């Protein structure tokens, strides 16, 4: 995959550093503006550096680096003007707005984000970028439509889930003060029908272990031959918390005609074998079996 398009040497390079800010309680510092030049335009993101995941985005976009570069690289390879991109678990809009530029004014982006604070930040960032090709959906994406219990993560603004985040040893604050609420749930297939979308080029799914449920509610979409790329988080702890396994996740996509790959640098991809306990071969095997998360790139 090539990070360049049409000779734009800095197409995927962040611009500008800002003064260091110390993390604190979420919402107690002013948002910081991060600017990312993408295909001759500038994507602007307002980030609260006291929020764990937003701080991670900021820190990984310094010194010429880019947050989740292999994923951005893949989108740059597969998305073209006029395409439709689906962002399930859109957070504050990092991938939503990058894809918005890549698909252009004649393309579309559908962004699903159920958590109220993240959704408000997403909406502000979309408005800041005047991204008129983005449709926001304030709902959980799952396998059936209705109401579900959704849990806020007080330790990580990117870790809200359909299971109590306090179960994870990292989330000490959340374990002491669990915050369940009721949220609407939709399926990707039904949402696409309501939006009049008939063809999707690429999708990203990051739902803290609910990826199997999302895939089951998107089987019509996954069956489209035009859909050639799905970037899917592999969160073994979250999968287990929702009664699923890595095998379940891979089988959903392999049944739809995809093959799964993992990479660290965006250039060396290793295929994952469902038959061998969903493990990749070689040096990735040990990492794939830990509680860390990584993205699986489903291609066809």
Instruction: Give the pLDDT band (50/70/90) at residue 264.
Output: confident
C-beta of residue 238 within 8 angstroms of C-beta of residue 158: no
Q: Which residues of 5-29 are buried (b: 16+ CB within 10 A; e: fewer)?
A: beeeeebbebeeeeeeeeeeebeee
**Domain positions in the chain:** 68-299
For the stretch 67-112, pLDDT in tens is 999 999 999 999 999 999 999 999 999 999 999 999 999 999 999 9
C-beta of residue 195 within 8 angstroms of C-beta of residue 221: no
In the predicted structure, residue 288 carries a pLDDT above the cut 80: no
Instruction: Give the pLDDT band (50/70/90) at residue 12.
Output: low
CATH for 68-299 (3.40.50.1950, 3.40.50.150, 3.40.50.920, 1.10.3720.10): 3.40.50.150
For the stretch 30-80, pLDDT in tens is 899 999 999 999 999 999 999 999 999 999 999 888 999 999 999 999 999
Q: Which residue has better confidence, 279 or 136?
A: 136
Q: What is the pLDDT of residue 290?
A: 53
Q: Which residue is listed with tokens 């609407």? A: 184
For the stretch 186-201, pLDDT in tens is 999 999 999 999 999 9
């Amino acid at each position: 995959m090539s990070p360049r398009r049409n000779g734009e040497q800095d197409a995927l390079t962040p611009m500008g550093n800002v003064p260091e800010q110390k993390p604190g309680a979420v919402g107690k510092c002013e948002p910081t503006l991060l600017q990312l030049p993408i295909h001759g335009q500038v994507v602007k993101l307002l980030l609260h550096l006291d929020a764990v995941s937003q701080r991670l985005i900021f820190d990984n976009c310094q010194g010429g680096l880019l947050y989740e570069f292999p994923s951005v690289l893949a989108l740059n390879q597969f998305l073209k003007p006029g395409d439709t991109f689906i962002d399930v678990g859109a957070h504050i809009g990092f991938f939503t707005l990058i894809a918005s530029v890549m698909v252009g004014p004649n393309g579309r982006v559908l962004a699903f984000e159920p958590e109220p604070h993240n959704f408000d930040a997403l909406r502000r960032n979309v408005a800041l970028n005047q991204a008129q090709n983005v449709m926001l959906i304030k709902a959980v994406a799952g396998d059936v439509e209705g109401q579900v219990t959704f849990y806020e993560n007080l330790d990580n603004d990117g870790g809200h889930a359909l299971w109590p985040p306090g179960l994870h040893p990292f989330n000490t604050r959340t374990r002491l003060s669990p915050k369940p609420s009721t949220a609407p749930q939709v399926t990707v297939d039904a949402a696409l029908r309501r939006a009049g979308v008939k063809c999707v080029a690429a999708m990203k799914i990051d739902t803290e272990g609910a990826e199997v449920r999302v895939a089951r509610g998107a089987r019509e979409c996954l069956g489209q031959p035009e859909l050639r790329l799905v970037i899917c988080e592999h969160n073994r702890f979250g999968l287990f918390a929702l009664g699923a396994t890595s095998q379940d996740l891979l089988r959903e996509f392999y049944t739809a005609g995809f093959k799964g790959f993992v990479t660290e640098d965006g250039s060396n991809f290793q295929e994952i074998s469902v038959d061998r306990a969903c493990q990749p071969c070689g040096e990735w095997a040990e990492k794939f079996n830990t509680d860390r998360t990584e993205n699986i790139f489903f291609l066809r």
